[in-house]
Structure 1
Amino acid sequence: MERFLRTGGLPPEGVQLLGRWTSADLGSGFDLLETDDAAKLTEFAYQWSDLMELEIMPVLEDAELAAVLGRVAKK
């Protein structure tokens, strides 16, 4: 908590923090981040990796998913 209070837990430049949610028992949380630079996500994860296990899960918006499926789905 000391590091979070000192730094604000903000991601590096090039990564936008869209939202953050923390469980009531402070045992877990979820950050919604946006970037085109996966290396920046790795940088952010590394800053906290000595304190917690992190999982990075890339996601697509529905329109992006539909475009991908339109290109690759078997017809």
Structure 2
Amino acid sequence: MGVDYPLIGIPSNGNQQNALFARALISGAKLLRLDKSTHGVDVGAKAEIVSQADDVAVIVAALQNT
């Protein structure tokens, strides 16, 4: 009777965390608090989230010194 659409799966915890991190970065927020930001994600995703947070911290520090 209707059209069958393929189901879209729920993103993994790591992808959810990355999406939230990206949303926070593009929001223009002055402060980003990362509290248990890697809770429930796999080891690879955890390393990526920590690496991204470190990169952002370095960029912000550089911008503040200009």
TM-score bracket, shorter-length normalisation: 0.3 to 0.5
Higher relative helix content: 2
TM-score of the aligned structures, taking structure 2 as reference length: 0.34
- Which protein has the bigger strand share? 1
Higher relative contact order (CA 8 A, sep 6+): 2
TM-score normalized by the length of structure 1 = 0.32
